[in-house]
A and B are shown apart, each in its own frame.
Chain A
Amino acid sequence: MNATGKDKFILLVEDNPRDEDLTLRALKRSNVLNPVFVARDGVEALDYLFGRGAYAGAPPALPQLVLLDLKLPKLDGLEVLRMLRLDERTKLVPVVILTSSVEEQDLVRGYSLGANSYVRKPVDFVQFSEAVRQLGLYWLVLNEGPPSSSRSRA
C-alpha cells in the first residue's frame, strides 16, 4: 500500500512505550508509511496541537488522524478529545480512540465527545496488526478529511 502523501501524518497519543512500539510495528507491517508523531501524555498532545509549552511557536499542521489512548498520565484521553472538539481549529480532526478496554461508560463518553471511531487493542498481535492496517487504510486512504482541516493547512 502506498501512502498518499508525506504531509498526511498521524498523531499517536500513547504513554506506554511498549504499546507505542507495537503500534508502530503494526503500522509498518501494514505498509502505512505516513509519518507518526508520538505524544506520551494528554498535556503533550494538546501542547503539540495548539503550539503551546514545549511546542510554542507557529501552530503546526493538523494530523490526518489522531490515535488516542484513554488512560494517560496528567490529562486522560477523553479530556484531550473534549479540548480538541472545543477548539474551532481542531474540532473536525478525525480522532480514533485506540485503547485496551471497551467499558461502556468510555464508549458512551467517547462518542458523546465526538470521537469518530472506537477500536479496542486486541492482545493477539496478529489481530492488532490487522486492526491497525484497516484503520490506516480507511482513515488515511479511503476517507476524505474535513475541508476545514485543508483550509487551515492552506
Chain B
Amino acid sequence: MSTILVIGETEAGALTAATCELLGAANRLTAELGGDVALALIGAEPAAVEAAGPAGADTVYRAADASLVQYQTDAHLPLAQQIVEQDSPRVVLLAQSSMGRDLAPRLATRLGSAAAMDALALEVEGDRVRVTRSCYGGNARQVVTVKTDPQVITVRAKSQDPLEPDASRSAEIVDVAPSDADLRARVTSKDAAESEGVRLEDAEIVVSGGRGLGGPEAFGDLEQLAGVLGAAVGSSRAACDLGWYPPSQQVGLTGTVVSPTLYLAIAISGASQHMAGCGGSKNIVAINKDPDAAIFAFSRFGIVDDYKKVLPALESALKDALAG
C-alpha cells in the first residue's frame, strides 16, 4: 500500500522522461502526504524496472509481457485497475501522454473516481492534491481537486522536475500476472510520423521566417533549427510571395492560422496580416535586427541581432539544453 501510484511508461526499454518527472513529483508530494511511492510498469523490460528505484519508486508493480509493450486500452485498463486495487493508493499519477490521456479517465471511472487532466502544478492541501491546470486553450488556469478517491491526475510533460537518480535506492518488485483481457480494439500497425515533418497547424513549436531572411537559402537553416526542436517551419506571406518557401507553409491571414506553445519569429517584421495567423501563439519569441520591429510588441522574449549570427549559436545551445 502506497500513498501515490505512478503509472509509468517506457520507451526503448528505459523509463520515459515523463515517468521520471512523475516520480519526482510523487516524492515531493509524499514528503507532505507521507507514505510511499509505487510505480506500475506494464509491459516493462528489466532495465526500466531497475531504474525505477533510483528514480524514486519504493515499489514497482511489474506486468512483464511482450504483448503489453504496445499500449492498448483494453489490455492496459484491467491491469492498471488490478494494480491500483492491489496497492490502493490515494493518488494515481499518469503522464499527459498518448497513453495517459486515454487511460486515466477510464481508469478513474472504473475505480469510482475521477481524473484531473493535464496538470501543470501539484500542491498538497490536507489529503488532497491541488491541481493547477491549463484551460481555455492556455488563456486561463484552473485549480481543482479530485473529491473522490483515488485522485487520478495526469501531468504535463516537462512541468515537473525528476529526482537526481539515487543509485542507493532500490524498489521492491511485485509481479502482477496479466489476466486474459478481452481485447476489443486492437492496434494493428503503427507508422512513424511522416518524414516531411510536423504539420504546421498541429505543431507545438513553429519556427517561422520572413522577408528579413534575405533569401530562400536561409530557410534551410530554419529547417535545421526546427529539426532540433521538433518544430514545423512557417513563413510570412512576403517570403512566400518571393518564392522562398512553399505557400502551404504560409502563416497569416491568407495562410494557415497557428497557435503553438512557442512561435519563433525570425526576421519577421510583425505585420498585422502575419500576426493574424500567429497572434494566438502562447509565446512568441522574436529575433530581429531592427529593435523597433512591430513583432517585439507581441513577443515574450526577443533578441535584437542579425539572425545569421544568432541562429547557429541558438541551435547549439538548444541541442545542449534538450540533450541535458
**Bound pair: A and B?**
no
Which of A's residues lie within 8 Å of B, judged by CB? none
